[in-house]
Structure formats: C-alpha cells, structure tokens
Structure 1
Amino acid sequence: MRDLILLLRRLPGQILRRLGLWRATLWHRAHLGQVGAGSRFQPGVRFDDPGAVQIGAGCYIWRGVAVSAETGRAGLRIGDGVQINRDVHLDTTGGLVIGDDTLISEAAVIYTHDHGLHPWSVPEPMVKTIGTGVWIGLRAVILPQCRRIGDHAVIGAGSVVTRDVPAGAVVAGNPARIIGQRAKVAA
C-alpha cells in the first residue's frame, strides 16, 4: 500500500513532464527543417534559425540547449542517435555537422566562428565536423580552430579544445592534449 501511495504522489509530476516533452517535440517537428523518427525534445530548447536545422532519427535534446549563429543562415546537421544534454550551446555561424551516436554532455560549448583579436570585428565562419560516436564531456569548450573531431574521440570534462582531434583519441586539459587512445569500438 505504501508503494502505491508513493507512486500516486509522483504521478502528477511525471504526467506534466511527459506532456511538456510531447508538446515540445511536436513544436520542433513542425518548425525545424527536418526531424527524424523517434527524436524528442524537452521544453526550453531554442533554435535561432529552425529552418536550417536537420536532425536524424532517435535523437534526444535536453532543456536549455541553445543553437545560434552570429551571421546569415548557418546550418546544423545532426546524425542519428545523438544526445545533447542540458545547457549546451551550439554556435552554427560556420556550419556544424554532428555524426551518429554522439553524446554532448551538460554545459558544453561548441564554436564555429572567430573574431580574431577584436571582439567587434566581423566573425570569420569555420565549418566544424564532429565524427561518429564522439563523447564530449561536461563543460568542455570546443574553439573554432578545432575544425574536426574524429570518430570515437573523447573530450574530457572541462577541456578547452584548440586544434583538431584525431579519431579514437582521448583528450583533456587546457589546452586539450592527447592523453590516451580509446579502445576500438565495435561498429
């Protein structure tokens, strides 16, 4: 009986969360350029240019994710099975491609443009590609000079990535350096 009472107390909150997820998912399906089957969005996800966004199947995007660009129509392409956790910021000024089965942990920031040494200069767009099966850790910062993160790479929590990351590399630190190699991942 006690378990039933506990379940009933939690039920209204669970129902409200599910309704919010359902409503946010329907809204994004109607407004984004493309959304694959089974992809879901929590409430509070923001896309500055929704028409330039393509999301694959089976993706999950948490609340607080913000996708923006400083100039013009920039593109975002997300593969299948990608999870983007709470409070991630994706800059798409230069264009951003995220490969299948990638996980971006909470509060990570990914930039695709640079202002050089003057904050009010015209942004210089830089295309960025994140490979398949990549794991970007909590609060990692990927600067625009890093144009490619290879397949199955791991970016350590709190790392500041300033250059390209090879496939399978494990990088950490500020600036991020290779500290290991990921074991082969079954395809």
Structure 2
Amino acid sequence: MSIEDMKKVIILILSLIYSITAYSQDILAGIWKYQNNSEVFIVNIWKVTDGYEGHYKKVIVDATGNQISVVYDSNKEIGDTGYNWPFTISTGSISQDYRVGGSIQDNTVTNSPYAGGFIEGLCRIKILNPNCYNPNGNTCALQAEWIVKRGPGLYNPAEPPYSVPTNIILTKQ
C-alpha cells in the first residue's frame, strides 16, 4: 500500500471516529416535549464543553396545539437582579448507553421562605430508542426517560414539592 493510500485510509478512519463522536453528542441536544391533555412540558437542552445545560417550561395549548399561555418558565429573572438564570439543568456528558445525570434547579416552585424560590434536585435523562437517531432527521420518534428526584441529605418538611414532572417520557421534536 502506498503512502497516499495509507493517508486516505487514516483520513477515512478519523472521519468515521469523528462522525461516531458527533452522533453520540448531538442525540440529546434539542427540544423535548411531554404532553398531558392541554399541558405541554418542554425541555430545551444544548451541548456545552463538559456536558449539557438547559431550561424547561410548561405551557397550555388549545385543541390545535397553539400555545394559549405559559404556566411557568425556568428562563426567568434571578430575583430582582436584571439577569436571567443561565440554565436550570446541568448534566455531564452522555454515556455509551445514552444516559446523562446531573442537577436541576426547580426555580418555578411556589416561593416559600424555606425553599428560597427554588429547589435543587437530581435529574437523569436516558434515551430509550437511540436507533431512531439520525443527524439528518430521525427515522422514528426519539424518546427519553426524564427522572427528577431529591438528592441525599436532610430537607425542610415545609419545602414545596417539585413543579416539574418527576417521571415522564419526553419526545424529541
């Protein structure tokens, strides 16, 4: 095999490795939704250097799917600072079995003196059917399990419950 042929093979192998890496990194980023009658929970996730970050919101839609109102939105001002939360979901990188885990700040809970306007928790997202993913357009509806729970430790019993769903199946849009 000539040096030129070897270069072509190396370039092909590197391209393949890059596409596999890009494939696994882009599967999670995007808009995910869960609908329960007229309520739609929406999660927006984007890729960052060391994992993923995101925001969530719940909206009310009419019978044709048009948004009527916003129930809550995590992309809101932090107190009276004039600055919005940069993100409320933060995870590590996606694993080979298409799972990510991290933290969530539910900043849409009913304010109470005990919660301080938000409740921290653990968030896990697992892609259920990664074979549907295609960077040029999914071959079927890509779905993910969304689990939110409290982390270990003590909590004030007066803390309100999460406003976000804690165990649902999201569909990528």
Q: Identify the structure with the greater strand proportion.
A: 2
Which structure has more relative contact order (CA 8 Å, sep 6+)? It is 2
TM-score normalised by structure 1 residue count: 0.28
